[in-house]
Structures are given as structure tokens and as C-alpha cells.
A and B are shown apart, each in its own frame.
Chain A
Amino acid sequence: MYAKIMVPVDLAHVDRLTKAIDTATDLAKRYQIPVCFVGVTPSAPSPVAHNPQEFARKLDAFAQAQGAEHGLDAGSAAYISDDPAVDLDRTLMDAIAEQGADLVVMASHIPGLPEYLFHSNAGHLAAHAKVSVFVVR
């Protein structure tokens, strides 16, 4: 039914991803398809990495570890954004197209008042992406 799952990850908050990764793992095994972990970084140093290159290395290490742990065909793709606080949605939309994913599994928080002013990233993807989006809350 699906060909490739994309899982956007925030390496600064891996602990919040467990449920989304478990969901992605189940789906990947069910359809025997690969999972691509996508991360977005600013070009400036961040809590995760000193520079984009190191970020890409860490993301790939994370993907490989997940692959080994869950027996997945896992890969990674790191993207750079000039202003991730604003451009994250757009970058993820580009990533869906470039990675050829047809299912996105993504963690989100429980929506509240701020979503009237600042939409959530998963909410944006679910509303605008042309592929299926599984929002894990």
C-alpha cells in the first residue's frame, strides 16, 4: 500500500519520539518498506551539533541505531534551514517530495490555544502534504 515512510525527528527531544517511531516501525514491518528519518538543522551551532555536517552524522547514527534495534531498512536525510523556527514546514514538504515518501509518521503535541496563532508542524503537514500523514499524539 505504501512505498516509503518518512519520520521527521527532532534530535534534541528524542525521548518524545518513542510512540511515533514505534508506530512507524509497525507500519514499515507490515508493508515491508524502508523508513527515512529526516532532520532539519540551522547552519549555526545548535544544542544537537556544532555544524550541519556533525548534525548529519548524528542523524544517520540515530537512524542506523533505530534500524538495528527494530530490524528496519532505515536511512536518514539531513536538511539545512536558514530559519527553522519558521521554515520547518516548508523544508519538510520539500523533503517529502525529494525522498519520495508516501507516508509521513510524525509526533505532535496536544493542540491548545497557541495553535490559533502559531500552527503546529504536524498540523501543517497534515493539512498541506499530498501524501498520507499519520500524526501521533
Chain B
Amino acid sequence: MSSQVNLGPSGPADIIETDYELGQDNIQARVGPFGLDIHNPVFAISGLTIVAFVILTLAFQTQVEPVFEQLREWLTTNLDWFFLSAANVFVLLCLVLIVTPLGKVRLGGVDAEPDYGYPGWFAMLFAAGMGIGLMFYGVSEPISHFTAALDGTTLEEGARTDWAPLGAAVDDAEAAQRLGMAATIFHWGLHPWAIYAIVALSLALFSFNKGLPLTIRSIFYPIFGERIWGWTGHIIDTLAVFATLFGLATSLGFGAEQANAGLNHLFNIPVNDASKVILILGITAVALGSVLLGMDGGVKRLSEANMLMAALLLIFVIAVGPTMGILTGFFWNLGAYVQELPFLSNPVGRDDDNFRQGWTAFYWAWWISWSPFVGMFIARVSRGRTVREFLIAVLLVPSVVSVLWMTAFGGTAIGQIVNDGYQAVANAPLELKLFEMLAELPLAEVTSFIGIVLVIVFFITSSDSGSLVIDTITAGGKVDAPLPQRVFWCTFEGLVAVALLLGGGLGSLQAMAVSTGFPFALVLLLACYALVVGLIAEVRHPAVRAAAEAAG
């Protein structure tokens, strides 16, 4: 009888020969009736560290909070040049890889075929990585930069105390709008996606092509060699779990506050702890359902539904808002972004300290602390793409979508302030700005409702993919660990969020999570080196070369 392979050929790849066997450090145990398959010691250390930090924060709130907050502030204030420079390195490397022959390398081997089609792939890229921020900052951030720029600069003892980007644009509404949009797009465009792309690409390369486990430590094989299987690797993986879980849990806690404010605004649902806890538990329950239905049945479908709704809202705002203004604004803002990019990304010799440190460096630390999670998730769904295709899809497409989104939401809101003298959107608190902007457009009830649903669904799509990522890392790179482990991480994340919400400490632990952006920035710079070395080894591998030549 003949044999059959229903895999699609994946062709030659430069497999790294190592004596390490995936899962060799795993403990396969039974806890009560449930089977477990967990990495020793990453699972235990991650879980215990997280519990310890939660208890520490709850018990010594007044002592701990200033320490964590100051750590974060110290990093973004004193090392702003480092964050800005590192992010520039990531963008430049991605752009260089797109145009060099290394861009031809296919993730998963010369003949690998994509696991996911374009719609599902794009939906998952977006829904995991940034969606929720677009909902809150899409309206509020352009307004913040616009107003700050319009107010001009203020000096105190030779240092600027205003929050305006670059040189501001005092009393010039058009220039202030241009600068405000450019600065916002800068924070949501090439740089964050380049950060995600570096992690995702390295991980996909070392896992799908080189055959190492799908876990963060594998990226560093070219640097640390076999040592990544020991404590060097344990620390990297634990740090990744720590940043991911606290990043998700604190966002979930704050998100519940914001969603609660939105629900109160729309339906008069009371703002109190009970509402917020119900929101967190509800979001966690749906995320739990999603991870139990799996990648295809849950995560992908939910991401697609999410993107469809976001697209509808975007199209609606473009259609009923100032349509021509948004469409011309798109090119205008894109131009402004490209023109201001060299100045906004310049790490030294600037005097806009508050903007550079409080906004840009904070964002970069934030994106970097999320990069293990988003990067690993993007990697998992990107097998079968070439490096070039991957980078165009992960870097350029989302950046263009961000420009469109920011133009439609932020540009429309600024237009309301400048042209119509509509101050409600300017005066509203952060979490209500979106709804105040929508209130001025037709069908406000419907769009606001879609808005609040989107906010909640975006949390679910981050929560489910985050749980899968943590599960895989703590299972030593096994993507098929027993289901109860996913249930554990997803539930754990919700409970941490509830504990921090009720006990206080969301802010300080979020500061702690953002602070992990610093060690990860160092780690990502090493990853850049490993990535280039890995890609060169891939194109030089005799079998890969022969296959490429045969294909012409």
C-alpha cells in the first residue's frame, strides 16, 4: 500500500542539530483527574512569581506603588534615547530585509504552504496586537497632541514643561493638526509593528525552519548555543510570561474601567466594582470558550468577526463623517508622517522632553513589553509566508490601516473642534472621547453600541491569544499541551485582574509590566543579530540553495 502525506511539501530548511529534545524538561503529571504537561521550571517559577507579585502589591500597596512607578518613570526618562534608538534599529532592519535577497526565505521551508489565508491571517495579526488601543487612543491621542501643539511651548528654568511634540505650532490650527496627526501615527505606525515583526520573524524562523521549540528562548540559539536550554533560557521565557500575563491582566483591569464608563454613558449602567468584576469575568469566560474551541474554531473566527465589525465602524465613520475630508486627510496625514518621521524618531538633541519621554519612550517600552506575546502569536500563524511577504504584511499594511483609522477617528474629532467649535469631545475624559465624537455623527446610538461591543471583543481576542502563548511557553514550546493548562492561564489572568482591580495596584503592576520593556529591548537587539545570522545560514544551506536554483 502506498503512503500518503497530506501536509503539502515543506521542502528543505536549515535544521539546527541539537541534542535537546523538545519536551525533555517537561513534567507530565496528574493533578487530581487532569493530566498536565508543563515545563520544569518555567511553569512553576512563572506562576509563583506572578502570585508573589500580586500578594506583594496588595499587601504593601503604599510602599510598592511608588517603587514600581518610579522604576518605570526612571527608565523612560533617563533611557528615552535608548528606547528610541532601539526602535529605529528594528524599523531599519525590517525595511532592509524586505529589499535584500534574505527576503526570499520562506518560513517553514522552501515549499511550505501558508497555514492561514490572508483574511484570517490579517485579522489575527491585528486583533491580538493593537486593536484595543485603537479604540481608546484613535480619538483621544490626536486631540492631546493637537491641543498641546496649539498651546505652544512653555519654559521653566530652561526646560520645557509643555507636552507638545517637537517645536509645537502655537496658534496655527492647521500646523497643529498636522503635527498632532503625524505624532499619533508615529506611535501606531512602523515602529510598534517593527518591534512585533522582529520577535515574530525570529521566532518563526528558529522554530519552523530550524526546528527549535516554539518558545522565546529559541531565538537566542545563535548567541547562547546550548545554554538556552538552561537558566539563560528559563529566565528569558519566565520574563516573557511575566510581561505577557501582567500586561494582559492590567489592561483587562483598566479596560473594564473604561468599558464600564462607556456602558454608563450609553445605558446608565452604574460605575462600581460589581460592574467591573462582571465585565472581567464575562470577558474571561468568552476568552475561555474561544481557547477551548481552538485556533481555527475559536481564536480565528472571533478575530475575523472582530475585524469585520471594526471595518464596518470605520467605513461608517468615513461615509457619514466628512468623507472627502477623511479621504484627502489620509494622504495629507501620510505625507505629514513621512515628513516628520526623521524628527520624531530622532533620539538625541531634542527639547520636547515630556513628549519624547512621556509619550514616545513610554509607548516603545509598552510595545516592547507586549512583543513576546504578540510576536509569538504572529509567529504561530505565519508559517508558509516568505520573509518579504511577512514583513510587508506585518509592517506596512497595519501602518497604512493605522493612518486611515487615525485619520477617520482623530481627524474627524479635531475637525469637530476646529471647524464646529464642538468642545464636548475635547473636554470628555479619555474613555468617553470616542463616544462624544460618534455622538455628533448620525445614528449615534447604533455606532456607540458597536463601539462598546468592539472594545469588549478586542479584549477577548487579546485575552485568548495571550493565554495560548503563555500556555505554549510554559509547556516548553509544545503547542498541543493538555487543555486544562489553557483553562488555567486564561482563568488565572482574569483572577489577577479582579484581585488588582479590587485591591488596588493595577497602576503599579502595569508600570512593572512596562518596565520589562527595558530588558526586552536589550533582548530584541540580540534577536536582530540572531535573526540576520539565522537568515544568512538559511540561504547558504546547500539543500535550500539547490531548491531555490531549481525553482529559478
Count residues of chain B with CB under 8 A from any CB of chain A.
50
Q: Are the CB atoms of A53 and B10 closer together than 8 Å?
A: yes
Q: Are the CB atoms of B15 and A44 closer together than 8 Å?
A: no
Which interface class (under 10, 10 to 19, 20 to 34, 35 or more) fits A? 35 or more
Interface string of A73-87 (1 = CB under 8 A from B): 111111110111111
Please report the C-alpha to C-alpha distance between residue A87 and residue B292 in the assembled complex, in whole angstroms. Answer: 10
With both chains docked as a complex, state the minimum distance between the C-beta of A22 and any C-beta of chain B, in angstroms.
19
With both chains docked as a complex, state the minimum distance between the C-beta of B301 and any C-beta of chain A, in angstroms.
12
Q: Are the CB atoms of B10 and A83 closer together than 8 Å?
A: no
Which residues of chain A come closer than 8 Å to B4, judged between CB atoms? 75-78, 99
A60-75 CB contacts (< 8 Å) to partner B = 60, 63, 73-75
Q: Are the CB atoms of B211 and A60 closer together than 8 Å?
A: no
Q: Are the CB atoms of A85 and B483 closer together than 8 Å?
A: yes
Give the interface segment out of B142-150, B422-430, B472-480.
B472-480
Question: Which of A50, A63, A83 is B296 in contact with, Cβ under 8 Å?
Answer: A83
Q: Are the CB atoms of B208 and A43 closer together than 8 Å?
A: yes
Q: Are the CB atoms of B483 and A118 closer together than 8 Å?
A: yes
Closest to A98 in B: B6
Q: Does A32 contact B (CB under 8 A)?
A: no
Which residues of chain A come closer than 8 Å to B383, judged between CB atoms? 43-44
Interface string of B47-89 (1 = CB under 8 A from A): 0000000000000000000000000000000000000000000
Please report the C-alpha to C-alpha distance between residue A76 and residue B293 in the assembled complex, in whole angstroms. Answer: 28
Please report the C-alpha to C-alpha distance between residue A42 and residue B24 in the assembled complex, in whole angstroms. Answer: 18
- Knowing A44-B380, A45-B211, A85-B481 touch, does A56 contact B5 (C-beta < 8 A)? yes
Question: Which of B3, B15, B213 is A75 in contact with, Cβ under 8 Å?
Answer: B3
- Knowing A42-B480, A87-B294 touch, does A75 contact B5 (C-beta < 8 A)? no
Q: Are the CB atoms of A74 and B1 closer together than 8 Å?
A: yes
With both chains docked as a complex, state the minimum distance between the C-beta of A83 and any C-beta of chain B, in angstroms.
4
Please report the C-alpha to C-alpha distance between residue A77 and residue B8 in the assembled complex, in whole angstroms. Answer: 12
Q: Does B349 contact A (CB under 8 A)?
A: no
Please report the C-alpha to C-alpha distance between residue A83 and residue B35 in the assembled complex, in whole angstroms. Answer: 18
Q: Does A8 contact B (CB under 8 A)?
A: no
In the complex, how many residue pairs between chain A and chain B have their CB atoms under 8 Å apart?
123
Which residues of chain A come closer than 8 Å to B481, judged between CB atoms? 85
Q: Are the CB atoms of B480 and A46 closer together than 8 Å?
A: yes
What is the predominant secondary structure among interface residues of chain B facing chain A? loop
With both chains docked as a complex, state the minimum distance between the C-beta of B298 and any C-beta of chain A, in angstroms.
8
Q: Are the CB atoms of B109 and A46 closer together than 8 Å?
A: no
Which residues of chain A come closer than 8 Å to B1, judged between CB atoms? 34, 36, 73-75
Which residues of chain A come closer than 8 Å to B208, judged between CB atoms? 43-45, 51
Q: Are the CB atoms of A46 and B478 closer together than 8 Å?
A: yes
- Knowing A36-B1, A42-B480, A51-B109 touch, does A80 contact B6 (C-beta < 8 A)? yes
Which residues of chain B come closer than 8 Å to A80, judged between CB atoms? 6-8, 115
Q: Are the CB atoms of B479 and A112 closer together than 8 Å?
A: no
Q: Are the CB atoms of A85 and B7 closer together than 8 Å?
A: no
Q: Are the CB atoms of A114 and B34 closer together than 8 Å?
A: yes
With both chains docked as a complex, state the minimum distance between the C-beta of A112 and any C-beta of chain B, in angstroms.
5
Which residues of chain B come closer than 8 Å to A98, judged between CB atoms? 6
Interface string of B100-125 (1 = CB under 8 A from A): 00000000110000011000000000
- Knowing A76-B3, A80-B6 touch, does A86 contact B295 (C-beta < 8 A)? yes
Which residues of chain B come closer than 8 Å to A45, judged between CB atoms? 22, 207-208, 211-214, 477
Which residues of chain A come closer than 8 Å to B22, judged between CB atoms? 45-47
Interface string of B280-296 (1 = CB under 8 A from A): 00000000000011111
With both chains docked as a complex, state the minimum distance between the C-beta of A69 and any C-beta of chain B, in angstroms.
16
Please report the C-alpha to C-alpha distance between residue A74 and residue B108 in the assembled complex, in whole angstroms. Answer: 29
Q: What are the 7 tightest A-B residue pairs by CB atom distance, in nearest-first order?
A: A50-B211, A86-B294, A75-B1, A83-B295, A113-B33, A47-B23, A83-B294
Given contacts A82-B294, A114-B33, 10 further A-B contacts (CB under 8 A): A45-B208, A47-B22, A51-B15, A52-B10, A75-B1, A82-B116, A82-B295, A82-B296, A85-B479, A86-B483
Using a CB–CB cutoff of 8 Å, the interface residues on chain A facing chain B are 12, 34, 36, 41-47, 50-56, 60, 63, 73-80, 82-87, 98-99, 112-114, 118
Can you give 22 contacting A-B residue pairs, CB < 8 Å?
A: A34-B1, A43-B108, A44-B477, A45-B211, A45-B212, A46-B479, A47-B21, A47-B23, A50-B210, A51-B13, A53-B11, A73-B1, A75-B1, A75-B2, A78-B7, A83-B479, A84-B480, A86-B293, A113-B33, A114-B34, A114-B35, A118-B483
